[in-house]
Amino acid sequence: MLVKTGEGAKDYRTIWMEETAVNMIDQRMLPHKFEIYRSKDYRETVSAVRNMIVRGAPAIGAAAAYALAQAASEYKGADMKEFEKHMSSASAQIKWARPTAYDLFYAVDDMTGKIMKASSVNEAKETALAESCLYADRSAESCRKIGVFGESLIKEGSRILTHCNAGALACVDYGTALSPVRLAHRGGKKINVFVDETRPRLQGAKLTAWELSQEDIPYVLIADNAAGYFMSLGEIDLVIVGADRVTKDGDVFNKIGTYEKAVVAKENGIPFYVAAPESTFDVRLNSEDVEIEERSADEILYVDGVRIAPQGCVARNPGFDVTPGRYVSGFITEQGIQKTDKVKKKR
């Protein structure tokens, strides 16, 4: 991801490891400040995920992989059984951080399976560190491939609506929904992106708009409730969103408000695509079995620390909703563009 600095544009990943410290772009500070948060141990990394210093399904998957490497490095003994107990406790804490996004669980299970094949604690520590870096590299490459396949959907002059932030900040690099947009722009296509503000945390206004501005990609910021209006006027040609989990029945869990966009897109005959790597597809659960994270009511009652609702007001704040697969035109993955019925058959 290109970030404009005083010395020109510099390429950054959203999250990376140096020795046993995890560095991540502090997304709470954007767009007003660009700061790197440095997590020294796995508990701090779990806290960073929980507090949304780092967010987005692929990015928190990478954070989980790095956190396990940190947990392994922190163990001081040589007994493999005690090491396994230590890692099991760390895994449970990592999975507790965010309950809805599947990449977090996928990364923990993937990493644990590889670490526990080691025959000694030292070998396990080396494996954990090496595999966490490989996990992040694979995640970034998957998102690049999503861009390659998804770019074919974007025509010259396309006007694309996206919801929440599914760019490089939500991933290790490139993004999911924004990866095709990036590649289309870099390929010289004239496009325009409609960016939903995405209440209540305003990830569209704060993060997606910031990302697009860093690469001079044309965009316009709109209120969440304006998307249907612009669709009805014929000003939107294509909708691309990311996903936090795609269940085996082909339903999509994504930022609250995604379901509404999908329904209105269907009503207006506008293609609605979901961009997600294979690590976001949950082969175990149907949609009714997935926990929807309900976040603090303060995210609705306050904006940037200023209360906007009257005292005593009761608010509910689900972080995600479910879009049934029948509203999805196709899934853009690192394997290509797949129709919903094929995704369901694979699972």
Using CA atoms, how far apart are residues 217 and 250, in angstroms rounded to an integer? 31
Which domains are delineated in the chain?
Answer: 2-144 (1.20.120.420), 149-346 (3.40.50.10470)
Q: 24-68: per-residue pLDDT in tens?
A: 999 999 999 999 999 999 999 999 999 999 999 999 999 999 999
159-162/306-307 β-pairing: unpaired
Any residues with CB less than 8 A from the CB of 187 and at least 6 apart, and which? 151
* DSSP secondary structure string for all residues of 13-58: -SEEEETTEEEEE-TTTTTT---EEEE-SHHHHHHHHHTTSS-SHH
Residue type, 178: L
Q: What is the model's pLDDT at position 342?
A: 64
Using alpha carbons only, what angle is made at residue 141 by residues 137 and 146, rounded to the nearest 5 degrees? 150
Q: What is the model's pLDDT at position 197?
A: 97
Residue tagged active-site, from 196, 244, 251, 282: 244
Question: Which candidate, 206, 171, 323, 221, places its Cα nearest to that of 262?
Answer: 323
pLDDT at 218 over 80: yes
Rg (CA), the chain: 20
Q: What is the mean pLDDT of the chain?
A: 95
Q: What is the model's pLDDT at position 117?
A: 93
Q: pLDDT tier at 2 (50, 70, 90 boundaries)?
A: confident
Q: Is 282 a catalytic residue?
A: no
Q: Alpha-carbon torsion 91, 92, 98, 101, what sign?
A: positive
Enter the pTM of the model. Answer: 0.94
- Copy the structure tokens of residue 264: 């209105």
Mean pLDDT value of segment 79-108: 93
Q: What is the model's pLDDT at position 8?
A: 79
Q: What is the model's pLDDT at position 340?
A: 75
Using CA atoms, how far apart are residues 258 and 57, in angstroms rounded to an integer? 15
Using CA atoms, how far apart are residues 174 and 184, in angstroms rounded to an integer? 12
Mean pLDDT value of segment 183-212: 97
Q: pLDDT tier at 346 (50, 70, 90 boundaries)?
A: low
pLDDT at 187 over 90: yes
